[in-house]
Amino acid sequence: MRKTKFQNEYYYHIYNRGVDKRDVFCDDKDYLRFLRSMREFNQIKPIGSLYRQNQLRRKEVEPLRFVATNRSGSTSPKILVEFICFCLNKNHYHFLIKQKQENGVMNFMHKLSTGYTRYFNIKYKRTGALFQGKYKSVPIKSDSQLLYICVYKW
């Protein structure tokens, strides 16, 4: 059972690293895939396979945005979390996020970690866990803590 009880409109520092401190981003394509996963998995509606979507839109070039959009291009209010800032390092990541929907952090992190792990394991012909256990979460309880996290961690 997770120690942190996530609440809507509260800030959280979320982080994790590769199992055995291994690199989880080995090339630029890995970073781009993770960034795309951050965007695409950040919505209530299931999206299916990013691989399948990529095959269907192979020749399309789309900008990376971190707000979920619907097909008409308008902003969807159904994002799970709002990104305040994030940092991706070779063997770990940090997110500062605000939960926007009930169970938003847990649903987003489940989609992100399983989706990216599946991609990584197929690409590098490996099996098993990619990240070191469950992601860690720290609730942000004050403005000074929020400022500290924004400046120090990134």
| Residue 56 pLDDT exceeds 70 | no
| Residue 102 pLDDT exceeds 70 | yes
Share the mean pLDDT of the chain. 85
Half-sphere exposure of 65 (CA within 13 A, CB side): 13
Domain boundaries, given as residue ranges, for the chain: 11-152
CATH code that applies to domain 11-152: 3.30.70.1290
Q: Compute the average pLDDT of residues 64-90.
A: 73
- Tell me if 120 sits within 8 A of 30, measured CB to CB: yes
Q: Is 142 exposed, middle or buried (0-12, 13-18, 19+ CB in 10 A)?
A: exposed
Per-residue model confidence (pLDDT) at position 147: 86
